[in-house]
Structure 1
Amino acid sequence: MRMTVGEIIAACGGKLLCGDPNTLITSVSTDSRKIQFGTLFVPIVGEKTDAHSFISATFAAGAAATLTQEHDGMIDSHAWIRVQNTEQALQRIAAVYRQRFHIPFVGITGSVGKTTTKEMVALALSGSFNVMKTEGNYNSQIGLPLTMFRVSDTHQAAVVEMGMSNFGEMSRLAQIAAPDYAVMTNIGISHIEQLKTQQNILSEKLHITDCFHKDSILFLNGDDALLAGLRGKPGIRIVWFGTASWCDFRAENIRTAASSTRFTLIMPGGSCEVELPALGLHNVTNALAALAVAKTLGVPTEKAAAKLAEYRPLAMRQQIHHVSDVTIIDDSYNASPDAIRSSVDVLCGFRTGKRIAVLADMLELGDFSQQAHFDVGAYAARAGVDIVLTVGERAREIAEGARSVNPDFVCYSCGDNAEAIAKLKSLLTGGDVVLVKGSRGMKTDQIVKALL
C-alpha cells in the first residue's frame, strides 16, 4: 500500500498532532511485533491490553506514524494522528483505500465453510487472474481492514472472507470491502448465542450486499433450506449452486474415491467433469460456488476445474494423515453442528476398520447447546460411526444422543484432551479411521498432534 499521512487523516477524519503530513505509509499493523519501516501503527484498546502503551516501541522498530485515541497533544518527529476510536478509524481508512481498485471483489460468508470456499474461489479465479485472497482468519472487524491493505496494483481480483458473530457487524464489513460479488455458503447456528435465531443470522449475513451495484451478483447454495427460501427475491440478481435440479450450477454423478471426489458440473451452456482432491458433499458444494464465480467472471470452466484439481485442505480442516495403518481426519480447527455432520459423513465414507469420532464441545450455541450436542450424537450413531469419544462437559450430551439411537452404542466421555488421547491409544488398531473435531477453544489439535 501507499498512502500519505495527509491522505490517511482525510480518510478517517483525524487530526495531525505532530509530524509531516507528506510522510509516506507503506503498511498498516495493529500488532506491535510486526512493524516495518513506513508502518502506520493502529493501537487497539482490547479487553486485556491497551496497545497505546506500545507506541514508543513501534517507532523504535521503524513505524512512521501512529493513530491515537488517548492523546490530545504531542511533540515528536513521527506523525501522531488523533482519532475518536482507533478501530473505527482503521475501518474508514481501509474503506477509502479499497475504493482505489477497480477490480472484482468477491466476498465470502456463511455459517460453515467460509475459509474452504474462499480458498476454492481464489484458486478457480487464478486460472485467469492474479488474485489477492484473505490469509488466515483476517475476516473480522479488525482483520478485514488489514486484508484490504494487501491489495496492490498487481492484483486483478480479490477474494475476501467476511465473518460476523453479532448484529451490525456484516454491515460494517460490507462498507469496508464493498464486494461486487458475494457467496453465501449456508445458514447454520454458529454464533446463535448472540443472534438468537437462524432468521436473524440470515438477515445479518444478507448485509454483505449493502454496497452492491447494478451488475452485482449474489451466489447462493440452493441446498440450504433458508437460502433456498430467497428464490424470487426482488432487487438482487442471484446465481444458484448446489445439487437441486433447479440450480444454475449443479453437481451430478458424484463419485468418491480414496481421497478425491469426482462429479459432473451442469451449468448454463454445457457441462464439465471435475475432480476435487477432497472428500465430502460439502466440498462439492464449495467447488460449485467457486466454478460459478469463475465462469461469471470470465474464467474458462476447464481452466477453473484444472485449478481446483490442485486444491489442498488447509491445516486442521479435514486434513487426512496416515500413521501406522491408522487414518486420522484432522478437522480440529473449529466445530458447529452442520460442520460435524459433514465431517461424520466423510468419516463414514471409509470402509476399513473401526470408525471413531472424537467430538469436543461446540461453543457459542447458547440455549441451543444441549439439543445441538444431543442431535449430533444421534446423527453419528445413525450415520455408521462405531465409537464416539466426547471431550468436555457439553459434549457429554453427544454420547446421550448416540445412545438414544442405540442403547448399546459404544461411547466414552473424557474430561479433557489428555484423557481422550490415552483412551484413543488403547482403542486403536490397524485399519481404524479417527475423526477429531471440536470448537477452537477446545484445542483438539492437541489430540491430533499426540497421534501423529
Structure 2
Amino acid sequence: MNFLINTIVKEIGAQSFGVFDDFIVENISIDSRSMQNNSSTLFFALRGQNHDAHNYIAQLIENGVSFFVVDHIPDAAKGKANFLVVENTTLALQKTAKYYRALFCFPTIGITGSNGKTIVKEWLNFLLSPDYSVVRSPRSYNSQVGVPLSVFGINENHDLGIFEAGISSKGEMSKLEAIIQPTIGVFTHIGTAHDDGFDTLEEKIVEKMQLFKNCEVVVLQKNEVIEKYIHQPTFTWSFDDNSGAVFVEVLAQKNNSTSLLIHYNSNSFSITIPFQDTIAVENAMSCICTLLYLAIDENTIADRIQNLYEVEIRLQAKKGINDCMLIDDTYSSDYQSLKMALDFLEQQKFYQKKTIILSDIFQGGLPIEKLYQKVALAIQNNKIDRIIVIGETISKYLKDVSNLISFASTAEFLNRFNTESFQNETILIKGARSFNFDEIVVLLEEKKHETVLEINLDAISNNLNFYKSKIKPGTKIMVMVKAFGYGNGGYEIAKLLEHNKVDYLGVAFADEGIELRKAGIKLPIMVLNPENGSFNAMIAYDLEPEIYSITGLQAFLKLAQKKNIASYPIHLKLDTGMHRLGFESEALDELISLLKNNNFVQIKSVFSHLSASDDVAFATFTELQFERFRTYSEKIITALDIQPIRHILNTSGIFNYSEMQFEMVRLGIGLYGVGNSEIENKNLQNVSTLKSVISQIRIVNEGESIGYGRKHRVEKPIKVATIPIGYADGIRRAWGNEKGYVMIHNQKANILGNVCMDMMMVDITNIDCNPSDEVIVFGKNPSVIDMAKQLETIPYEILTSVSQRVKRVFYR
C-alpha cells in the first residue's frame, strides 16, 4: 500500500504539525511492538480500556517512526516528529481506511452474522482463489479496528475482496459498511451473541443489515423474520422451503461427510461436504450459493467443496494432553451456541468419556432460572460424564446437577485443578471471552512446535560410554552441563547422567546448579565460575564452588566461619598456562597458609584446564601444562597433607592424552557428539537435530530480489521456500547468502539472501516439496562441525546459540 499523507489530512479532519508534503505512507500501524514500524509508517496512537499508545511515541521516534496520528502531542515528543492531531484516533483510522478502500474498484463480499463469519470467509477464499486474486480479513479481524486494518491489505493486484464485519452495539455497522463497501452480502446466522448491546432481536437484525444497504444481492438461509429487514435483492436457500433460489436435500451423512442434492435454476446436481455437523453444512451452503451467484460452474463447485477443511478458530477439535481430545469454543457462551457445541462434541468425540468445562451463560430474553434449567437439561441429554463449571452464577444454579465440580473463577481452576485427572476423554471447553478460557486450552492442549531441537538421549549414552572406554575403571568422571547442557537442555541430560552414575556435574554459574537442585538432581555439582555474592545460595543448595583466587577464598572462609560450617567441599583451580582463571605459582604459598589448620573447608579436588589439547601441534605446550599441574598440585598436597581428586583432562584431553587422567576427567562437548578429529568423530553419534518446516513456497522471477538489503538478486525464475527460523533462534546471519544450506528430502537447499530475525529463504527449484514438509537445519548433514568450519567458529558456539524459545524434544 502507498498514498501521500496529504491526501488524508482533510479526510480525517486533522490539524497538522510538521512537514508532510512528500511523505508516502507505506505502512499503517497501531502496535508499538511491531517490527514493521519504520520510517515509512504512519502510526495511529489508539486509546483502549487498558492502554494508551501515546505513551510509546517517544520510543517509536527512536525506532525511526516520524509520522503519527494522535489526539494530543506528548510533551516529550514535541518538535521531534510530525503529527496529525484529531479528536478521536480510532475514528481517524476508520476514515483513512474508507479513503484507501475508495481508491480500488472491484467486487467485494461483506459477511456478517452471529456465527460462522470467519469460517465462511476462509472457505470462500479457498473456493474463489483459483478464479480471483483475493484480499481478505486476516484471522478474525472484524471489529471497529480490525476491519480498517484488513482493508489496508488491498493492493492494485486484487480483484476480489472478502471481509467480515462484527458488531456489539448500535451505530457500529454503518462505519464498517463505509470501509468495506461490499457489493455482495452474505448473512450467516442470527443468534444471541452480543445481545446485551441491543434492546431486541429485531434491533440487532436492523443494525446488521446496515452492511448490505448498497449491495446488489444478499445471500442467506431463507428466514422471513430477517428478510423483511432486507431491502436489497436476495439469493436465498433452504432445506424445507422451495420458494427460494436454491432448495437443498440431504441425501446421506456417513464417513464424516454429508451428501446434498442442490436444486437451482430448474437444474439439480449433487455435492459432498466433508463434514456432518449442522453448522458446517450451513456455512458450506452460504459458500455454495455465493459461488452459484457468481456463475461458477456446478462441476467446479462440487469439486472444490469436497476439499473444504476445518478452520482452526472457535469450535475446534484439538489433540490434548494425556491422549485427550479438546473441543475449543472459547469465544462465546450463550444457550444457542451451547447446543451447537454439544452437537459438535457428540459428532467429533474421539473418546466415549465426555467432559465439559463451561462458564457463566450470557443470554438475553430468558429469566435466569429458566435459562439454567435449559442448560442443565441440554448437558444431561448429551450424557456428559463430568461437568466443570466456572463462575459464581452457573455454580449457584447448577449446584444440584450430578457429576458437577465448580470454581468461582478461571484463575481458581488453573491453580487448583489437577490436570492429570484428564485422561483419554473428549473435553468441550466453552466460555465467554471475559473468562479467558484460552488459558485453559493452552494448559490442556498438546503442544505443537514448527521449529524444534531434537535431542537423542541414546546418542548421549553412547558418547558417554565411548569416553568411559578411554579411562581406567577407577577414574571418576565429571560431565559439563553448563550453558543449558551446551544448548541441548540441562535437567533432562542431568537426569540421564545421574542414571548413568557419573560422579560429578559441572555448571558455570550458581543459578544453573540451583535449577538442577530444584529439579531433583542429587549428584555433586561443581560451580566453575562462582561470584562471591552467590556463595550463600550455593551453601543453601549444596553446590560446590571452584575457588580460583585469594580474595574468593577469603570471602568463602569468612562466610563458612559465620555459618559455623565445617569441611565444606571446595575445588581449587590452578593456572598452568590457560591464563583465564586460577592460582599461579606465586600465589601458592599464600593459598597454603590460608588453608593450613583450617577446618571450615575440605579440598575436594585440585584441577587445571588445558589450552590446546585438541591440537597435537601444541603437544609440547600441553606436556608443559601437565608438568606444571603435577608440580603445583603436589606442593599443595604435601603442605596440607591431603588426598584430593586431581583432574586436568577435558574432552580432547581424554582422547589424546588418556594417560594423564589422574583421579578424574571432565567430559564436555564430546558428550554432545562433537570431537576434534575424524577418528574421534567416527565413534560419536549425533545428538542434536534442529528441525523446522516449510511455511510458504513461491516463484520469484528474474530481476527480483530476496530478503533484506536485496542481497540475493534473481537471474532466472526460481522456486523459493520460507522457513520459520532465523538469527533470533540462533542461526548466524553469516550462514546466509548461499554460504549455508538446509536439507529437505535429503537434498541441499541453499539459503538465499540474509537470514532474517525469525525466517530464512532457501532455493527449492530442484526439490519436490510442499508447505509443512520437514526441514533439517543441522544434524548429521549439515553437522554443527560443518557449520563451524564454514563460519570460522567452533561447534560450541553453534550449539549454545540455539535460542531458548526453540522447543527441546528429548527422545530415545
TM-score (norm 1): 0.86
Task: Name the CA distance, whole Å, in 1 between partners of 2:228 and 2:206.
Answer: 16
Structure 1 residues 416 and 332, CA gap change in structure 2 (3 angstroms) = same
Secondary structure, aligned partner of 1:13 = coil
Q: After the TM superposition, which of the residue ranges 51-60 and 249-258 deviates more from structure 2? A: 249-258
State the partner residue of 1:32.
Answer: 32
Aligned-partner residue type, residue 445 of structure 1: D
Aligned-partner residue type, residue 40 of structure 2: G
Structure 1 residues 114 and 29, CA gap change in structure 2 (3 angstroms) = same
8 Å contact 1:331–1:436 — kept in the other structure?
yes
Secondary structure, aligned partner of 1:12 = coil
Secondary structure, aligned partner of 2:208 = helix
State the partner residue of 2:344.
Answer: 346
Offset of residue 183 of structure 1: 1.5
State the partner residue of 2:317.
Answer: 319
Structure 1 residues 79 and 141, CA gap change in structure 2 (3 angstroms) = same
Q: Aligned pair 1:147/2:150, yes or no?
A: yes
Q: After the TM superposition, which of the residue ranges 72-81 and 9-18 deviates more from structure 2? A: 72-81
Task: Name the CA distance, whole Å, in 2 between partners of 1:80 and 1:88.
Answer: 16
Task: Name the CA distance, whole Å, in 2 between partners of 1:257 and 1:193.
Answer: 39
Q: After the TM superposition, which of the residue ranges 350-359 and 188-197 deviates more from structure 2? A: 350-359
Structure 1 residues 28 and 254, CA gap change in structure 2 (3 angstroms) = farther
State the partner residue of 1:81.
Answer: 84
Structure 1 residues 15 and 347, CA gap change in structure 2 (3 angstroms) = same
State the partner residue of 2:211.
Answer: 208
Offset of residue 29 of structure 1: 1.2
Secondary structure, aligned partner of 1:245 = coil
Considering Cα pairs closer than 8 Å and 6+ residues apart, tell me whether 1 or 2 has the greater RCO: 1
Q: Which of 67, 70, 74 is matched with 1:68 structurally?
A: 70
Aligned-partner residue type, residue 97 of structure 1: Y
Offset of residue 41 of structure 1: 0.5
Q: Aligned pair 1:236/2:232, yes or no?
A: yes
Task: Name the CA distance, whole Å, in 2 between partners of 1:90 and 1:199.
Answer: 30
Structure 1 residues 234 and 316, CA gap change in structure 2 (3 angstroms) = closer
Task: Name the CA distance, whole Å, in 1 between partners of 2:371 and 2:298.
Answer: 39
Offset of residue 59 of structure 1: 2.9
Q: After the TM superposition, which of the residue ranges 258-267 and 333-342 deviates more from structure 2? A: 258-267
Q: Aligned pair 1:296/2:293, yes or no?
A: yes
Q: Aligned pair 1:391/2:390, yes or no?
A: yes
Structure 1 residues 65 and 201, CA gap change in structure 2 (3 angstroms) = same
Offset of residue 277 of structure 1: 3.8
Q: Aligned pair 1:18/2:18, yes or no?
A: yes
Aligned-partner residue type, residue 241 of structure 2: S
Offset of residue 388 of structure 1: 3.0
Task: Name the CA distance, whole Å, in 2 between partners of 1:377 and 1:196.
Answer: 26
State the partner residue of 1:435.
Answer: 428
In structure 2, stretches of 5+ residues that fail to align are 447-812
Offset of residue 439 of structure 1: 1.4
Structure 1 residues 149 and 288, CA gap change in structure 2 (3 angstroms) = same
Aligned-partner residue type, residue 281 of structure 2: V
Alignment map for 1:409-424 (pairs within 5 Å): 410-417=403-410, 419=413, 422=417
State the partner residue of 1:268.
Answer: 265
State the partner residue of 1:449.
Answer: 442
State the partner residue of 2:709.
Answer: none
Deviation string for 1:260-301 (max 9, x for gaps)?
Answer: 444333333534444444441011101111111122123334
Q: Aligned pair 1:328/2:326, yes or no?
A: yes
Task: Name the CA distance, whole Å, in 1 between partners of 2:375 and 2:67.
Answer: 50
Task: Name the CA distance, whole Å, in 1 between partners of 2:74 and 2:413.
Answer: 54
Secondary structure, aligned partner of 2:393 = coil
Deviation string for 1:224-282 (max 9, x for gaps)?
Answer: xxx43244667310111342333433442254446444433333353444444444101
Structure 1 residues 18 and 312, CA gap change in structure 2 (3 angstroms) = same
C-alpha RMSD of matched pairs (Å): 3.1
State the partner residue of 2:56.
Answer: 54
Task: Name the CA distance, whole Å, in 1 between partners of 2:99 and 2:161.
Answer: 16
Task: Name the CA distance, whole Å, in 1 between partners of 2:160 and 2:253.
Answer: 32
Q: Aligned pair 1:249/2:246, yes or no?
A: yes
State the partner residue of 1:188.
Answer: 191
Offset of residue 54 of structure 1: 2.1
Aligned-partner residue type, residue 27 of structure 1: N
Deviation string for 1:210-232 (max 9, x for gaps)?
Answer: 3x15xx1112222xxxx432446
Q: After the TM superposition, which of the residue ranges 293-302 and 154-163 deviates more from structure 2? A: 293-302
Structure 1 residues 358 and 252, CA gap change in structure 2 (3 angstroms) = farther
Deviation string for 1:25-66 (max 9, x for gaps)?
Answer: 011111112213311111112233332232232233333421
Structure 1 residues 157 and 394, CA gap change in structure 2 (3 angstroms) = farther
Deviation string for 1:94-148 (max 9, x for gaps)?
Answer: 1111112111111111112222222222222223112111113321111111111
Secondary structure, aligned partner of 1:46 = coil
Offset of residue 315 of structure 1: 3.9
Q: Larger Rg: 1 or 2? A: 2
8 Å contact 1:123–1:304 — kept in the other structure?
no
Aligned residues: 437
8 Å contact 1:243–1:250 — kept in the other structure?
yes
Q: Aligned pair 1:286/2:301, yes or no?
A: no
Task: Name the CA distance, whole Å, in 1 between partners of 2:396 and 2:291.
Answer: 42
Secondary structure, aligned partner of 2:68 = strand
Secondary structure, aligned partner of 1:165 = coil
State the partner residue of 1:377.
Answer: 376
Aligned-partner residue type, residue 381 of structure 2: R
8 Å contact 1:121–1:289 — kept in the other structure?
no
Q: Aligned pair 1:362/2:361, yes or no?
A: yes
Task: Name the CA distance, whole Å, in 1 between partners of 2:442 and 2:251.
Answer: 33
8 Å contact 2:192–2:363 — kept in the other structure?
no
Offset of residue 335 of structure 1: 3.1
Offset of residue 344 of structure 1: 0.6
Task: Name the CA distance, whole Å, in 2 between partners of 1:285 and 1:278.
Answer: 10
In structure 1, stretches of 5+ residues that fail to align are none
- State the identity as a percent: 24
8 Å contact 1:360–1:437 — kept in the other structure?
yes
Aligned-partner residue type, residue 11 of structure 1: E
8 Å contact 1:241–1:249 — kept in the other structure?
yes
8 Å contact 1:19–1:76 — kept in the other structure?
no
Task: Name the CA distance, whole Å, in 2 between partners of 1:248 and 1:61.
Answer: 56
Q: Which of 111, 116, 119 is matched with 1:116 structurally?
A: 119
Deviation string for 1:351-388 (max 9, x for gaps)?
Answer: 96233332222347597666444423322323444443
Q: After the TM superposition, which of the residue ranges 345-354 and 121-130 deviates more from structure 2? A: 345-354
Aligned-partner residue type, residue 299 of structure 1: I
Structure 1 residues 230 and 188, CA gap change in structure 2 (3 angstroms) = closer
Aligned-partner residue type, residue 336 of structure 2: D
